[in-house]
C-alpha cells in the first residue's frame, strides 16, 4: 500500500495523482501509458490523472501524491494507506465517442456525460473533445438536454416566501464582451427599489479588465455567503455579490475552465451555461442582454436572432420566463474601464450627476424597464418610465446605499492608479470605431482588475470629432512595468479608428 501525501500544486478543476518512478509497489511503467488511475482507501475513491515523479525529494518511492484539488476531493488525511488501480473508463465514454463521431445524443447520454464531468471523471483532454464535438454539431433538443443535465448536476437555490414576491425572482444577464458594461449595478438598485427580488450573483474577471464582482468590490464587500445573501434580499430585495461561493453548476465550472483557454464560445454551450445557472439560482424571470457589434461576441443581427431563438426554446422548455434584448455592442459602454473607473461611472448615474455617461444610463434604464415589465401589477409598456422615475427620484441611489451597507465595507480602499498617460489622436478625424477587444487588452495590461485603480478612461466615443493631438483616452496604472506594457500596446495600435477628414479644397 502507498502512503497518501498532499502535493501543494493547484491543478484547478483537475484531479492529479503523483507516483514516483522508483515506486517499489506499483510498476511505474505499467501505468505510464494510462492517463487515469483510481485511488482508493476505506470506501473513498477518486479518479485522477497520473503524473510520474523522477525526483525523490519531491515524492518518496512508497508515497502517492494528490494535488490540492484532488486531495480535497478525496477527503482523507495524509499517510492514509491507499491503493492504486487502472481507472475503468468513465461511464459516459461511449456517449462521448458517439458525439465525437457526429451523432445526436439523447437526454440520458447528456446526463451521464455531465455527471462524469461534474465529478471530475473526465480529463481536460476529454472535456475539450466534448466541447469541440458539441461545437461541431448540436441540435436544439441536445442544447436542452445539456441544460437540464447541468442543472441536475448542481445545487439548486430556493428563495421561499420571505424573498419571492408572488413567486417572482428576477435576474439579468449580459453575454459579455463589452468593456465598461456595468449595467447590473444600476439595474439591481432600480428593480429592488421597485420591490421585485433580484438576488444578483456576478463573476470576477477571468480574461477581461473587470467583472461586475470586481467593480462592486470597490464599493462594498462582495464575498457574501448564501445565508447573508438571503437576509439582504429579504430586507432590500436586491444584492450584488460574487457568485463563486455558490456551487450552482459544477459541470459548467469545469467546461468553462477548458473553454476559456481554448477561446471557444459556442452558442449552444453559452445558452446551456447561462440558463442552467439562472435556473439553479432560483430565478423565475430573466432578461438577457445580447450586445451586437464588430468586436462583440455576436457580430450580426442574424446571429443574434438565432441566439435569441435558442434562448427562448430552452427557456420555455425549462420553465424560465425570459426576454432577450439586443443592444449596441459597437464600442465600450460608459467612459471608465477597470473597477475604480467603472464604479465612478455607475455612481455618477445613480447620483444623477450631469457628467454621468448617457449610454450607460440609457442601457441600464432599458434593461431595468424590461425587467419591471415582469411585474403583473405594472401596466404594460410602463416599465421604462417607472425605471426612470426610480432613478430620478433618488430611490435607486438610496437602495444602493442600503445594499452596500448590508454587504459591508470593501476589503480594501481602492483609488485611481497614480501613473497616467493620455493617448492622443494622430490626425484630425471623427471616431468611427473603437475595438472592444483591443481596449480591454490594454486595460488588462495596465493592471485591471488586480489593481482596481488601473484601467482606461475614454475621453472620446464613436461619433466624436478629435483634432490631431487631442486625447482619446487616459491610461491609469499602479506599477511601472504594467504601465509601460499598456502604453506600449496603445502606442502600437490605440484601438481607435479615426475617419480621414478631407483637407480643405479636396473633394469629399
**Interacting residue ranges for a copy of itself, rule: CB under 8 A:** 6-11, 18, 21, 27, 29-30, 33-36, 51-55, 57-58, 68, 89, 93, 97, 100-102, 123-129, 131-133, 135-137, 205-207, 258, 260-264, 450
Nearer to a copy of itself, 375 or 482 (CB): 482
Q: Which of 341, 38, 376, 384 is nearest to 210 (CA)?
A: 341
Distance between CA atoms of residues 371 and 184, nearest Å: 12
Minimal distance, residue 60 CB to a copy of itself, in Å: 13
What is the number of residues in the chain? 508
Nearest C-alpha neighbor of 180 from the set 439, 387, 399, 411: 439
CB 71 to a copy of itself: min, Å: 11
Nearer to a copy of itself, 28 or 378 (CB): 28
CB atoms under 10 Å from CB of 139, counted, come to 11
Identify the helix (H) or strand (E) that includes residue 146: helix 140-152
Please state the closest distance from residue 333 (CB atom) to a copy of itself, in A: 22
Structure-block grid coordinates of residue 407: 454587504
Q: Rounded to the nearest whole angstrom, what is the least distance from the CB of residue 100 to a copy of itself in the complex?
A: 6
Cβ nearer to a copy of itself, comparing 450 with 465: 450
SS3 of 340-387: HHHHHHHHHHHCCCCCCCHHHHHHHHHHHHHHHCCCCCCCCCCHHHHH
Q: Please, what is the minimum distance in Å from the beta carbon of residue 171 to a copy of itself?
A: 25
Bridge partners, 172 (sequence order)? 287
Smallest separation, CB 394 to a copy of itself (Å): 37
Nearer to a copy of itself, 69 or 184 (CB): 69
C-alpha cell at 25: 509497489
Name the minimum Å distance from CB 47 to a copy of itself: 13
> Is the Cβ of residue 383 or residue 447 nearer to a copy of itself in the bound state?
447
Of 10 and 355, the one with the shorter C-beta distance to a copy of itself is 10
Q: Determine which one of 265, 303, 328, 428 is catalytic.
A: 265
Residues linked to residue 298 through DSSP beta bridges, in sequence order: 292
CA pair distance 184, 289, nearest whole angstrom: 11
CA pair distance 35, 471, nearest whole angstrom: 55
- Sign of the Cα pseudo-torsion (440, 443, 445, 447, in order): negative
Angle between helices 212-219 and 184-194 (to 10 degrees): 70
Task: Burial-class residue 278 by CB neighbours within 10 Å (0-12, 13-18, 19+).
Answer: buried
Question: Is 457 annotated as catalytic?
Answer: no
For a copy of itself, give the closer residue by CB, 32 or 377: 32
15 touches 117 (CB < 8 A): no
Catalytic positions, please? Answer: 265
Amino acid at each position: 500500500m502507498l502512503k497518501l501525501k498532499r502535493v501543494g500544486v493547484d491543478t484547478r478543476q483537475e484531479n492529479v495523482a503523483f507516483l514516483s518512478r522508483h515506486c517499489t509497489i506499483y510498476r511505474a511503467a505499467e501505468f505510464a501509458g494510462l492517463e487515469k488511475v483510481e485511488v482508493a482507501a476505506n470506501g473513498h475513491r477518486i479518479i485522477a490523472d497520473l503524473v510520474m515523479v523522477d525526483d525523490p525529494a519531491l515524492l518518496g518511492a512508497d508515497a502517492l501524491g494528490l494535488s490540492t484539488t484532488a486531495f480535497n476531493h478525496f477527503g482523507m488525511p495524509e499517510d492514509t494507506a491507499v491503493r492504486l488501480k487502472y481507472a475503468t473508463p468513465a461511464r459516459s465514454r461511449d456517449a462521448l465517442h458517439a458525439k465525437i463521431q457526429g451523432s445526436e445524443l439523447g437526454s440520458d447520454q447528456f446526463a451521464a456525460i455531465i455527471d462524469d464531468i461534474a465529478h471530475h471523471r473526465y480529463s481536460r483532454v476529454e472535456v475539450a473533445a466534448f466541447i469541440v464535438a458539441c461545437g461541431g454539431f448540436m441540435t436544439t433538443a441536445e442544447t436542452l438536454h445539456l441544460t437540464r443535465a447541468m442543472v441536475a448536476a448542481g445545487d439548486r437555490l430556493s428563495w421561499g416566501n420571505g424573498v419571492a414576491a408572488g413567486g417572482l425572482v428576477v435576474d439579468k444577464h449580459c453575454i459579455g464582451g463589452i468593456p465598461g458594461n456595468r449595467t447590473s449595478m444600476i439595474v439591481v438598485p432600480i428593480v429592488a427599489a421597485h420591490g421585485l427580488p433580484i438576488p444578483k450573483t456576478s463573476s470576477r474577471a477571468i480574461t477581461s479588465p473587470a467583472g461586475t464582482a470586481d467593480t462592486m468590490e470597490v464599493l462594498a464587500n462582495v464575498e457574501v455567503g448564501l445565508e447573508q445573501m438571503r437576509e439582504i434580499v429579504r430586507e432590500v430585495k436586491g444584492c450584488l455579490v460574487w457568485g463563486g461561493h455558490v456551487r450552482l453548476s459544477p459541470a459548467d465550472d469545469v467546461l468553462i475552465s477548458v473553454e476559456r483557454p481554448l477561446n471557444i464560445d459556442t452558442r449552444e454551450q453559452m445558452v446551456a451555461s447561462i440558463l442552467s445557472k439562472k435556473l439553479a439560482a432560483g430565478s423565475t424571470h430573466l432578461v438577457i442582454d445580447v450586445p451586437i457589434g464588430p468586436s462583440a461576441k455576436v457580430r450580426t443581427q442574424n446571429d443574434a436572432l438565432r441566439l435569441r431563438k435558442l434562448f427562448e426554446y430552452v427557456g420555455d422548455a425549462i420553465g424560465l420566463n425570459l426576454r432577450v434584448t439586443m443592444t449596441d455592442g459597437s464600442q465600450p459602454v460608459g467612459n471608465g474601464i477597470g473597477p475604480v473607473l467603472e464604479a465612478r461611472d455607475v455612481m455618477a448615474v445613480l447620483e444623477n450627476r450631469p457628467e454621468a455617461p448617457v449610454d450607460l444610463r440609457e442601457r441600464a434604464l432599458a434593461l431595468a424597464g424590461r425587467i419591471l415589465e415582469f411585474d403583473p401589477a405594472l401596466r404594460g409598456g410602463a416599465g421604462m418610465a417607472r425605471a426612470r422615475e426610480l432613478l430620478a427620484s433618488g430611490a435607486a441611489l438610496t437602495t444602493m446605499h442600503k445594499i452596500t451597507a448590508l454587504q459591508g465595507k470593501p476589503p480594501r480602499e481602492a483609488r485611481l492608479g497614480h501613473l497616467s498617460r493620455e493617448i492622443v489622436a494622430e490626425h484630425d478625424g471623427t471616431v468611427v470605431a473603437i475595438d472592444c477587444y483591443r481596449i480591454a487588452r490594454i486595460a488588462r495590461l495596465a493592471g485591471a482588475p488586480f489593481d482596481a485603480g488601473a484601467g482606461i478612461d475614454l475621453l472620446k466615443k464613436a461619433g466624436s470629432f478629435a483634432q490631431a493631438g487631442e486625447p482619446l483616452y487616459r491610461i491609469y496604472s499602479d506599477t511601472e512595468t504594467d504601465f509601460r506594457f499598456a502604453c506600449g500596446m496603445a502606442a502600437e495600435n490605440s484601438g481607435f479608428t479615426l475617419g480621414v477628414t478631407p483637407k480643405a479644397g479636396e473633394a469629399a
